[in-house]
């Protein structure tokens, strides 16, 4: 078990981490009220604004790359999960200057979904936006699927160039062109020697033997090119350089910037050795190094290993790379004064006390089997389901750790806690659909990652637009779930067989529709059984989405965590209606 320095309540780790960072560097940054987002006090005026963001746990990326010549604002998601759309939107609004906002972030399913939704919301408010997704990890997908590649340490070079392009005063389209040029000339390969453990988990995301390492592993523990025995530095760098040289088609006379990036626990002594070995190989091939960095910029907590990033340079990219920038964790050149004086009010750090624990006890309108769900029953049922999923956090974590990054249980538990707390305050609400919609919104705006969008939509989209009612029957539930399924598939594009939550939700919806006219309990029993069969079927599938897709056939034999959560939700509905709730 990894030894971590955390507070007793790990559910607030991102909030408290950010408060520590912003308190230390409060001369530079101002927090966006109510959100894990902040902006640079001297952000750009009358120019294109840049907003970056992603999951926490990779510090100093992204929080350390906001400042003069860099990003104007940062949206920080939960650990290893993307920020939610509202958080991203609120991060962008204080820095928008009417010239447009460019979002720069790593290419992951959750980030893509959440940033896209945030852009749509901003555009609806008249704010012009664009995005560039960093995809430098060439080990994560072949050339023909380049758009699926992950963004890792290449974020550093792309953000640096993008910030300079914004400072140059170009319009949004030209900033995007220059940023994409930096992105398309940047490639990264990494190795992992020690796994990481997410705060709140009892064991690492994945396992590596004492004498093992993995080439090409992602910063969340995603599978790489090959798992092999440990080797000496020269042999490791030889292999990585050969892969990088082939990917970039490096030739004599080419000029590159290089980053040797530590993943969290690898000491600088070893990282400097890596660069020494790399530089000898580059010199032998007469590949010129325009500039080099040896630092841990994109980490994964205590993960061991490193990555090598190269950006092919030309005169245009050199111009923007050389422009000065400053943040507490990344700087080039000189930018002079970086901050204005603070007011007395801003000097004070106010730590909001946590709400007192609400009453999450579950009550039913009557004993025995329910034939309909009144608003109060619906509220209690959703609280019961939330508690059930929270209790299953470890179970869901174990399932996700087998083929993902192990954060699904944490994300679901966090989202359900927010929903449960809000529902507990809604005593007396008479509209069933408003309860479902509210629970969905709380999940969407707290979970982050792809799961936040998808599972928030499970409640939210089905209830949205429905006429107010104080009770629903089984047929009404079927209509609501079918709407949710349609919305989720439109958002994520997943179909049955793709090893996602759709594999459980789609057959459950089919079962509900087939059982229309029967009792509420009979319909839920059919849906629960169908969802469980869907979960079992995911063991036979190769993943098409999420971090498990890089495993290909290695994912076969493991059930999908998202599908499992869907089954638990239908099981919770049935248990509540049947008056057979687990204790």
Name the nearest CA neighbour of 230 among 280, 205, 194: 194
- Residue pair 508/531 in contact (Cβ under 8 Å)? The answer is yes
Query: φ, ψ for residue 208 (rounded to 5)?
Result: -130, 135
CA dihedral 52, 57, 60, 62 (to 10 degrees): 0
Long-range contacts of the stretch 456-461 (C-beta < 8 A, 24+):
456/415, 457/484, 457/487, 457/488, 457/491, 458/484, 458/488, 458/501, 458/505, 458/566, 458/569, 459/382, 459/419, 459/484, 460/436, 460/484, 461/486, 461/487, 461/488
Which structure tokens are listed for 421? 């707390």
Burial class (CB in 10 A: 0-12, 13-18, 19+), 216: buried
Known catalytic membership, residue 220: yes
Residue 268 CB contacts under 8 Å (≥ 6 apart), including other chains:
262, 294, 295
Report helix, strand or coil for 68. Answer: strand
Closest CA to 71 of 112, 97, 101: 101
| Whole-number CA gyration radius for the chain | 25
Residue 340 DSSP symbol: P
Q: Which of 43, 58, 131, 220 is catalytic?
A: 220
HSE-CB for 480 with a 13 A CA cutoff: 24
Contact 468, 433 (CB under 8 A): yes
Task: Report angle CA 149, 182, 107 to the nearest 5 degrees.
Answer: 25
Rounded-to-10 torsion of CA 556, 213, 134, 62 = 110
Beta strands in 66-184 (DSSP E): 73-79, 101-106, 129-134
Sequence-distant (6+) residues with CB within 8 A of 104 are 50, 51, 52, 71, 131, 132, 134, 155, 158, 159, 162, 179
| Cα–Cα dist 541/276, whole Å | 44
- 446 token code pair: 């707290």
Three-class SS state of 152:
coil
Residues constituting the chain: 583
User: Do 102 and 131 contact (CB within 8 A), yes or no?
Assistant: yes
Q: Which residues pair with 50 in a beta bridge?
A: 102
Closest by Cα among 219, 160, 157 to 184: 157
Distance CA 105, CA 61 (A): 10
In contact, 10 and 204? CB cutoff 8 Å: no
Q: Which residues are catalytic?
A: 220
């Amino acid at each position: 078990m990894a030894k971590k320095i955390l507070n007793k309540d790990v559910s607030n780790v991102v909030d408290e981490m950010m408060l520590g960072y912003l308190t230390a560097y409060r001369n530079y940054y101002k927090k966006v009220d109510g959100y894990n987002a902040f902006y640079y006090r001297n952000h750009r005026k009358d120019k294109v604004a840049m907003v970056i963001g992603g999951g926490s746990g990779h510090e100093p990326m992204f929080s350390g790359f906001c400042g003069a010549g860099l990003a104007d604002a940062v949206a920080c998601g939960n650990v290893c999960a993307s920020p939610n759309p509202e958080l991203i939107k609120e991060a962008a609004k204080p820095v928008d200057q009417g010239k447009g906002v460019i979002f720069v972030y790593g290419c992951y399913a959750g980030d893509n979904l959440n940033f896209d939704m945030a852009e749509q919301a901003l555009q609806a408010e008249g704010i012009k936006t664009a995005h560039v997704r960093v995809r430098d990890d060439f080990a994560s997908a072949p050339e023909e699927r380049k758009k699926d590649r992950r963004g890792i340490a290449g974020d550093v070079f792309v953000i640096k160039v993008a910030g300079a392009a914004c400072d140059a005063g170009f319009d949004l389209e030209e900033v995007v062109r220059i940023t994409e040029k930096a992105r398309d000339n940047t490639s990264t390969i990494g190795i992992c020697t020690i796994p990481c453990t997410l705060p709140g988990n009892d064991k690492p995301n994945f396992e590596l033997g004492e004498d093992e390492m993995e080439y090409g592993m992602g910063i969340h523990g995603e599978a790489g090119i090959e798992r092999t025995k440990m080797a000496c530095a020269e042999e490791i760098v030889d292999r990585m350089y050969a892969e990088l040289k082939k990917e970039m088609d490096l030739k004599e006379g080419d000029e590159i910037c290089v980053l040797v990036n530590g993943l969290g626990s690898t000491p600088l002594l070893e990282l400097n050795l890596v660069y020494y070995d790399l530089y000898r190989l580059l010199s032998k091939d007469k590949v010129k190094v325009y500039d080099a960095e040896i630092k841990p910029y994109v980490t994964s907590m205590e993960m061991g290993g490193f990555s090598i990033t190269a950006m092919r340079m030309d005169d245009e990219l050199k111009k923007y790379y050389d422009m000065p920038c400053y943040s507490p964790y990344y700087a080039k050149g000189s930018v002079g004064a970086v901050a204005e004086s603070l007011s007395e009010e801003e000097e004070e750090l106010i730590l909001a006390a946590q709400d007192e624990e609400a009453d999450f006890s579950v009550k039913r309108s009557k004993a025995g089997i329910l034939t309909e769900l009144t608003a109060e029953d619906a509220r209690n049922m959703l609280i019961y389901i939330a508690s059930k999923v929270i209790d299953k956090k470890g179970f869901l974590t174990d399932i996700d750790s087998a083929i993902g990054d192990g954060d699904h249980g944490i994300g679901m538990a966090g989202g359900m806690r927010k929903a449960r707390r809000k529902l507990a305050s809604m005593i007396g609400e008479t509209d069933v659909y408003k309860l479902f919609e509210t629970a969905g919104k709380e999940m969407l705006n707290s979970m982050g990652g792809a799961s936040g969008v998808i599972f928030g939509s499970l409640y939210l989209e089905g209830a949205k637009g429905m006429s107010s009612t104080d009770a629903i029957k089984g047929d009404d539930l079927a209509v609501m779930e079918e709407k949710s399924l349609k919305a989720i598939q439109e958002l994520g594009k997943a179909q049955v067989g793709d090893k996602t939550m759709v594999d459980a939700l789609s057959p459950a919806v089919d079962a509900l529709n087939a059982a229309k006219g029967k009792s509420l309990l009979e319909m839920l029993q059919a849906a629960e059984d169908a969802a469980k069969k869907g979960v079992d079927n995911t063991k036979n599938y190769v993943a098409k989405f999420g971090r498990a897709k890089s495993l290909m056939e290695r994912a076969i034999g493991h059930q999908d965590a998202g599908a499992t959560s869907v089954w638990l939700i239908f099981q919770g509905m049935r248990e509540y209606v049947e008056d057979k709730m687990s204790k």
